[in-house]
Structure 1
Amino acid sequence: MRTDDGKAVITRVVEILETFNHNDHLTASRIARLSGIPLSTCHRILQSLTACGMLERHGPEYRVGLRLWEIASHAPRSVGIQRLALPFMHDLLEITQYPVHLAVRDELEALFIERLTPSDDQQLRPAVGSRYPLHVTAVGLVLLADSSPAIQEEYLAQPLHRFTPHTEIDPHSLRRTLAKIRNQRFAVADRQVNPDAASVAAPITDREGTVVAALSVNVPGAMLRERSLAQAVQTAAWSISRVR
């Protein structure tokens, strides 16, 4: 089945749902603009999604519905690892007093699936649900380092975005960095995304030793204590791996 503009309905549904990646609530006109879907088509799909509980309507605005959340809660690579990791993330937050993040690899991006921050923290990124290229965050580097050689070469063959003057985009240098990460079992991203911030990450593995997620602590760049932070993050990541 296709919409009036020739696109498959399921494609349009996905485009609408993706507008909620960085927005809690949206009007129909805003959803139409963000998704590029004609407003009349957007209205019809929104009505169907609301009728089946995928979205909820509050006045003129739409929000993600409980039915969609219920289905998503069965995703083992996000909710499963998140549930196991949370107690250890709380411990890591208490020890370091810096934001703690949990991420998984989705294709060629790092997808952040959980975030804990001190009560006085003003930083809003990376938010849960946000995505970053693998080469710019510590969690991304950990996930890329333990990916197959084919995935690594596919990633390094593409143009790499530079976020700050410190962002490493040279494929040869990145290969050396990835080898170092595999050897030491932690990664450091120093001012790669934000010129004032750094992060240290370690891998979380399954029972076969395959890396399934990465855990990180984000700190102001001037406060980076690589070795001590790496030990704390590695201990937490190892503990999560043990209970999987």
Structure 2
Amino acid sequence: MPPGTADESFLHRVVTVLSAFRPEDDGLGAAELARRTGLPKSTVHRMALALAETGVLERRGAEVRLGLKLFEIGQRVPRQRVLRDAALPYMSDLREATRQTVHLAVLEGHEVVYVEILPTPGGPDLPSRIGGRFPAHATGVGKAILAFSPPPAVRSIVDGELSRVSGRSVVAPGLLVRELERIRKEGVAFDREESGPGIVCAASPVLAPDGSALGALSVSGWSGRMRLHHVAPAVHTAALALSRALGDRPSGALR
């Protein structure tokens, strides 16, 4: 066996177990973890006990849940911490100006990860959650980021499987490419019920000094209550202001 293979396999199993937890899970038993991960129940049980000893998982009767140690580690991630801390004042102003839910997201592979969400009273029950993921092509923030991403990253998504998240998701590669071209020209992306029925959003990229996307801001609301073209200028202005504020910071901490 090549050196490191066993350790790499163990680490892969650990990540697989931790990734099996969903935002709504308060606790999972070994049987359910085994079902979700495809690993033997005995293996999952041993791993869960070991991870609980380190604080990465917490025991809750016969079940385990994600532990506080993971939260502590997550707060140290430079890209999340620096970008989120810089974005919060702009997000707060944007929510105040639009009276809608405001998101901050970054791209991770073919998905966006939500770094911060400022909800608004009476807003829609959105599928997004802090730390949650969503297919990039089916979200306003994802399309805003992709429009200003390196061509290889865009091609890997366009040439891959474009899943249909809702009945209005853009799943035709040609249509997605043309939409990204428009977003590059206008600086604003729209989600017209592509991520879920009744939900719309306007998003704009947060850019590094070299013009590449660090993340994106968006405003989301009910399709019958929010006019996209009314909130789009506010989102674009906030993203431009945040981009300027981040311009003097070391770029390495944001990537």
TM-score by length of 2: 0.86
Question: CA-to-partner distance for each residue in 1:7-62, whole Å, 9 max, x for gaps?
Answer: 92211111111022424422333323222222221121111111112122233332
| 2:87 pairs with 1:73 | no
CA contact (8 A) 1:28 1:42 kept: no
CA contact (8 A) 1:99 1:116 kept: yes
Q: Secondary structure at the match of 1:201?
A: strand
State the match for 2:107 in structure 1: 105
Tell me the CA shift for residue 194 of structure 1.
1.7
- Write the letter of the residue equivalent to 1:114: E
Q: Indicate the larger mover: 125-134 or 135-144.
A: 125-134
Counterpart CA distance in 2 for 1:227 and 1:90 is 20
- Cα pair distance change 1:43/1:163, threshold 3 Å: closer
- Write the letter of the residue equivalent to 2:19: E
State the match for 2:21 in structure 1: 20
Counterpart CA distance in 2 for 1:59 and 1:142 is 44
Q: Secondary structure at the match of 1:237?
A: helix
Tell me the CA shift for residue 2 of structure 1.
4.9
Counterpart CA distance in 2 for 1:120 and 1:192 is 21
CA contact (8 A) 2:106 2:113 kept: yes
Q: Secondary structure at the match of 2:44?
A: helix
Q: Secondary structure at the match of 1:223?
A: coil
Counterpart CA distance in 1 for 2:213 and 2:101 is 22
State the match for 1:146 in structure 2: 148
State the match for 2:251 in structure 1: none
- Write the letter of the residue equivalent to 2:149: S
Structure 1 stretches of 4+ with a deviation exceeding 6 A read none
Q: Secondary structure at the match of 2:76?
A: coil
- Cα pair distance change 1:24/1:167, threshold 3 Å: closer
1:29-40 alignment runs, 5 A limit: 29=30, 30-40=32-42
TM-score by length of 1: 0.89
1:200-239 alignment runs, 5 A limit: 200-239=202-241
CA contact (8 A) 2:206 2:217 kept: yes
Tell me the CA shift for residue 124 of structure 1.
4.1
Question: CA-to-partner distance for each residue in 1:101-124, whole Å, 9 max, x for gaps?
Answer: 111110111112211112344504
State the match for 2:190 in structure 1: 188
Tell me the CA shift for residue 66 of structure 1.
2.5
- Write the letter of the residue equivalent to 2:18: L
State the match for 2:173 in structure 1: 171
- Cα pair distance change 1:61/1:87, threshold 3 Å: farther
- Write the letter of the residue equivalent to 2:214: V
| 2:61 pairs with 1:64 | no
Question: CA-to-partner distance for each residue in 1:210-244, whole Å, 9 max, x for gaps?
Answer: 21001111121223423321111112212222322
- Cα pair distance change 1:116/1:84, threshold 3 Å: same
